[in-house]
Amino acid sequence: MGTLALLDALWEMPAEKRIFGAVLLFSWTVYLWETFLAQRQRRIYKTTTHVPPELGQIMDSETFEKSRLYQLDKSTFSFWSGLYSEIEGTLILLFGGIPYLWRLSGRFCSYAGFGPEYEITQSLVFLLLATLFSALTGLPWSLYNTFVIEEKHGFNQQTLGFFMKDAIKKFVVTQCILLPVSSLLLYIIKIGGDYFFIYAWLFTLAVSLVLVTIYADYIAPLFDKFTPLPEGKLKEEIEVMAKSIDFPLTKVYVVEGSKRSSHSNAYFYGFFKNKRIVLFDTLLEEYSVLNKDIQEDSSMEPRKEDEGNSEEIKAKVKVSSFFLRDSTLMNSFLCFFLFAVLIGRKELFAAFGFYDSQPTLIGLLIIFQFIFSPYNEVLSFCLTVLSRRFEFQADAFAKKLGKAQDLYSALIKLNKDNLGFPVSDWLFSMWHYSHPPLLERLQMFTLKSNVMKDSQFLKLYVSLLHISVHFLNENLLCA
C-alpha cells in the first residue's frame, strides 16, 4: 500500500515535476546498473589471479599479472570518475545549472549589444560556456588518468606541457567546428517551417559525411604527424591483401602515435573508391620496414587450409553493412521527427527551469540528452550486439581466406601488447564490449597446428588483415 500510495502521489504531481523526477530516476538507475556490472568485472580482476588453462601455453604469468593490475587500476578510476560525473550532473539539474548558464549567456550577449531576439548568438555563447565548463571539470580526471595510471603501467609518452598544449588545441578546434555547425542547424530549424526536421536531418547527414571525409586529411594532422608508408615489402603486402578482397585502397599512412602513448592502433577512412589505412607507428616498433624491406618469412605464406567461399561471406557482410548504415540513417531521421513533435511541449522546458522561454538549443539538449535517454540506452546495447556480430563475421572472413592461424596469433599478441585482460564477466561483456573478448574470439578457431612464433611482423601483418576485411562491416557507404 505504501508503494502504491507513493506512485499515486507522484502521478498527481504536475507534468513538469513528473518529467524531471523521471529523468533523475532513470539517470541514477542507469548509473547503478553500470556500477553493478563494473563490480562484477572488478571481481573477475581480483579473483582471477592465474592464467586460465586454455591460455596457459600462449600467455605467460607475468603479462597476465600486469594486465590484471592495469585493469584493476582502470576499474577504480572508472568508479570514482563515474560517481563524480553522476553527482555533478544531478547537482546541475537540481540547482538549475542549465537555466543559470542560459541567463549568463544572455548577460554576456547584452554586454555586446545583442538582445533576447538574437537567440542563435546566445545559444553559441551557451555552448562555448558549457564546453568550457566540461573541459575544466574533466581536466583533473584526464590528468590523473594520463600521468598516474597510464604512466604507472608504461603507456604514457606525453609531457605535461604537451598534454596542456594538446588540450587547448582540441578545445579550439572543437569550437571552430561546433559553433558554425550549431548556428546553421539552429537557423535551419528556425526557418524550416513544418518540415524543418527533414532539412535538419539532411544537414546533419551532410556534415557527418564531410567531417568523416576531411578528418584524417585536415583535422587529425593538426594534432599528429602523418607520413606516407614508404615503399617496401610491407606496403606491397598491404596492397596485395587489399586488392584480394576488393578493398579500394588509395593510400597508407603512418601516424606518430608514440608521442602520446605506446598503445597500438590502426584505422581506415574514406568513401566509395577512395579508402585509406592509417597505422600507428607503435605497430611498427622493432620492425625494419621503414628502413629496409622485410626479409622473406615462409611462415607468412598464404595457406590453403580452412579456405572456403569467401565471396559468400563477403556478400553476407555487405548486406549487414547496408543494414547498419540504413538503420543509422533511419534512427537519425526518427529522432529529428520526434524532436519536431515534442519541441512545442512547454512542460518539457518547464521541467528544467525554462518557464518563460523555449530556446531551440535548450529543446535539443532536453529532448536528445534527457527525454531520449531510455531509447538511447536500448539503441546503444543493440548496436553493441550488432558490432560483436560483425566482428565475428570479420573473423570468419579471415578464416575463409586461410588466415585463421595468423589472426589467432595476432589477437593474442595485440592483447598482450595493450595489456588487455582475457577474462570477462559474461554480463559485463554482453553490455559493454562492441568487440568480443579474447577468449570468445579464440574459441572461434580450431587450429590443428601450434600457434605461430611471436614476431613483430606477425602482429602488424595480421592487424592489417583484420583492418582490411573489417571495412566490410562498417556503417560507411560501400563501394
Residues contributing to the annotated binding site for Zn(2+): 391
The span from the CA of 412 to the CA of 437, in Å, is 11
> Angle CA(40)–CA(46)–CA(51) in degrees, nearest 5?
110
Contact 467, 398 (CB under 8 A): no
Contact 407, 462 (CB under 8 A): yes
CA nearest neighbour of 182 among 113, 114, 130, 111: 130
The span from the CA of 208 to the CA of 214, in Å, is 10
Q: Which parts are annotated binding residues?
A: 391
Long-range contacts formed by 239-248: CB under 8 A, 24+ apart = 241/464, 241/465, 241/468, 242/277, 242/468, 244/401, 245/310, 245/314, 245/401, 245/468, 245/469, 245/472, 246/314, 246/479, 247/275, 247/468, 247/471, 248/272, 248/273, 248/274, 248/275, 248/479
The span from the CA of 285 to the CA of 352, in Å, is 52
The span from the CA of 252 to the CA of 82, in Å, is 38
The span from the CA of 315 to the CA of 383, in Å, is 21
The span from the CA of 182 to the CA of 124, in Å, is 8
Which H helix or E strand runs over 160?
helix 160-191
Under DSSP, the state recorded for 156 is B
What does each C-alpha distance from 350 to 21, 89, 355 come to in angstroms?
13, 18, 5
Set of cell numbers at residue 49: 589471479
The span from the CA of 116 to the CA of 22, in Å, is 31
What does each C-alpha distance from 467 to 22, 164, 269, 279, 407 come to in angstroms?
42, 32, 11, 10, 11
The span from the CA of 77 to the CA of 231, in Å, is 43
Centre a 10 Å sphere on the Cβ of residue 210 and count the other Cβ atoms it contains.
11
